[in-house]
Amino acid sequence: MRKTQAGCLVLLLLAVTACCTAPVLMVAAAGRSGGQGQVDAAASGIPARMLAAYLTGASQVTAYVPGCRGMRWQILAGIARVESDHAAGRQIAPNGDITPPITGPRLDGSGAGGNTTAIPDTDDGTWDGDTAYERAVGPFQFLPETFRAYGKDGNGDGTVSPHNADDAATAAAVYLCGNGHDLTDRDQLRAAIQTYNLSWAYVDDVVSGIDRYDALGNTPNAPTGNAGVVIETALAQQGIPYSWGGGGPDGPSAGICCSPGGQDGRTVTGFDCSGLTQYAYAKAGINLPRTAAEQAGAGQRIPASAGFGALQPGDLIFYGYSPTADSTIHHVGIYLGDGQMINAPRPGKPVGIDPVTAMPDYAGGTRLL
């Protein structure tokens, strides 16, 4: 910033089934008006994983700044478009790590890159690779000192890094919210952006991008529905522990005993795979059955034979021992698009984003929206 069961519960012998316990990508997102639409990531020019990070940051900000109003993915996209062109030219891993790291020019007062004030190193080169002077870091171009103050663990992996898309987006959302700005107010939005960079030309540039992304989010021809609510709810649970048999429509909870690997869910408050999907869909007003196998029959079934390309963001995605027998389904996630899903994977691994190929036995999907 420039500032001058084996996953889910499986089919047990003599017991009922319980869940543990480059096509165009369409990512569901909330538009300015609060209505839900689906954003064509290709048309927006935003890499799908970065768009997911902006959704993550926007959905988590009120946990840190309860009084903030109006934070949305478009604001974060507007900032990142100017700061790094959405991490252009970099690889973005499923967990959000960006390689190679994005670092700005050395802030040594030489005038290179427009800097005229020397800023001595504050992080011993940990994030910017420079032990003498500061460099802005990550897709949101935070100064290391600023990121230390505002950085958050957006993806819940226990590490806070400006070079992680989720962490950086969540930190930017917290920073822009200040002590509780109302970003639905145009003047407050512009003032918040101006604290990010003390240039009104910069503010105009960012706001023009926000307006364009707002328009994409409300495209009349885009599919409508509550997929954005489902996805944002699930993304906001990143880092919540896996609990065998845990979670449900009301949120995370203690689970049951015991997983095939031995986890006693009674000692862990969190979600298993179908508990997470129940919670996310409950926020959209849809009540799902408790188990993954039962959830497969709750909507329009998408057969495994149709391939991953038949899925749309917000669809449930299933894994089972037989792709044509719903009774063998042992895992469920929520499809994000671009070959990625969010899910509660297994004991010891919290809610997070994984490639759809992370498990070998794809059993199709279900569309409820």
> 16 — phi, psi (to 5°)?
-75, 160
Determine the pLDDT at residue 41: 57
Return the number of other C-beta atoms located less than 10 Å from residue 358's C-beta. Answer: 16
Q: Distance between CA atoms of 302 and 366, rounded to whole angstroms?
A: 6
Determine the pLDDT at residue 114: 74
Q: Distance between CA atoms of 319 and 213, rounded to whole angstroms?
A: 34
Name which of 20-34, 41-55, 308-322 the model is least confident about: 20-34
Determine the pLDDT at residue 119: 94
Whether the CB-CB separation of 196 and 3 falls below 8 Å is answered with yes
Q: Distance between CA atoms of 73 and 59, rounded to whole angstroms?
A: 8
Q: What's the mean pLDDT in 72-77?
A: 94
Q: What confidence tens digit (pLDDT) does each residue in 181-236 have? A: 999 999 999 999 999 999 999 999 999 999 998 887 543 333 334 787 898 889 88
Determine the pLDDT at residue 68: 96
Q: Distance between CA atoms of 11 and 283, rounded to whole angstroms?
A: 28
Q: Distance between CA atoms of 156 and 138, rounded to whole angstroms?
A: 18
Burial of 84 (0-12, 13-18, 19+ CB in 10 A): buried
Helix (H) or strand (E) holding 317: strand 316-320
Determine the pLDDT at residue 27: 52
Determine the pLDDT at residue 242: 97
CB crowding 13-38: b at 16 or more within 10 Å, else e? eeeebbbbbeeebbbbbbbbeeebbb
Name which of 29-33, 47-51, 245-249, 357-361 the model is least confident about: 29-33
Kindly list the structural domains of the chain, giving each domain's residue range(s) and its CATH number in brackets, ordered by start: 36-102+137-217 (1.10.530), 237-367 (3.90.1720.10)
Whether the CB-CB separation of 168 and 363 falls below 8 Å is answered with no
Name which of 100-114, 117-131, 238-252, 353-367 the model is least confident about: 100-114
Determine the pLDDT at residue 30: 40
Q: What confidence tens digit (pLDDT) does each residue in 104-126 have? A: 999 999 887 677 789 999 999 99
